[in-house]
């Protein structure tokens, strides 16, 4: 874990300002996955793309092999099990195209992620909300639902933290204020978290 975080700071020295929060976020996610929980991720625009991207790194091998364990090889047979990879259960809330278009048309679009969190989240899960400003309403409302349901909450924002800062358990504030600069920091931050989780569960 420390090697991954140290490498991140060496490559992006400005991120030293949020290394404690990155470590805290890892601790939250490690506990969630170790106890059989799952991760919900949400964001808008570029942050929606980051939600999908982060989920992709967790749902299959990222940088190391993740062979299926022997128990599943016996159950599935080697022909099938050899084609599968170890995964950390993750749901990007941005991916429900039919739901999101229907909900946004029929209801209040500011509550789309809140509705999905209400439907899918259970105690022991975690919600990871990405918002460069920290003020995205639909991300914020999802955190309200998550906390009420007993999910751990993590925010990934710009330097101010916005409203997410005081409404999540851990807020990682990238040291930038312009949207494009914040997003440039978000990628290495969540890649580092994915590396750390992969190391913890698959190496």
3-state SS assignment for residue 173: strand
Kindly state the DSSP code that residue 111 receives in the 8-state scheme: G
How large is the average pLDDT for residues 159-178?
Answer: 98
> What pLDDT, in 10s, does the model give residues 70-90?
999 999 999 999 999 999 999
**pLDDT greater than 90 at residue 95:** yes
Q: How far apart are CA 188 and CA 65, in angstroms?
A: 21
Set out the domains of the chain in order of their start, with CATH numbers. Answer: 2-202 (3.40.50.10490)
> What pLDDT, in 10s, does the model give residues 104-130?
999 999 999 999 999 999 999 999 999
**pLDDT greater than 80 at residue 92:** yes
């Amino acid at each position: 874990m420390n090697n991954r975080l140290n490498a991140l700071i060496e490559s992006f020295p400005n991120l030293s300002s949020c290394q404690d929060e990155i470590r805290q976020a890892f601790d939250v996610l490690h506990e969630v996955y170790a106890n059989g929980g799952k991760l919900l991720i949400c964001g808008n625009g570029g942050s929606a793309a980051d939600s999908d991207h982060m989920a992709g790194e967790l749902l299959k091998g990222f940088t190391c092999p993740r062979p299926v364990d022997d128990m599943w090889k016996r159950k599935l047979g080697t022909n099938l099990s050899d084609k599968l990879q170890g995964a950390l259960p993750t749901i990007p809330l941005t991916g429900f195209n039919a739901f999101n278009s229907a909900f946004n048309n029929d209801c209040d679009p500011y509550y789309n992620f809140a509705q999905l969190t209400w439907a899918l989240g259970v105690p022991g899960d975690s919600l990871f909300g990405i918002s460069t400003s920290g003020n995205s309403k639909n991300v914020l409302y999802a955190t309200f639902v998550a906390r009420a349901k007993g999910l751990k909450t993590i925010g990934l924002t710009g330097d101010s933290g916005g409203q997410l800062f005081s409404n999540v358990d851990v807020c990682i504030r990238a040291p930038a204020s312009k949207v494009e600069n914040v997003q440039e920091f978000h990628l290495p931050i969540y890649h580092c978290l994915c590396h750390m989780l992969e190391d913890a569960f698959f190496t």
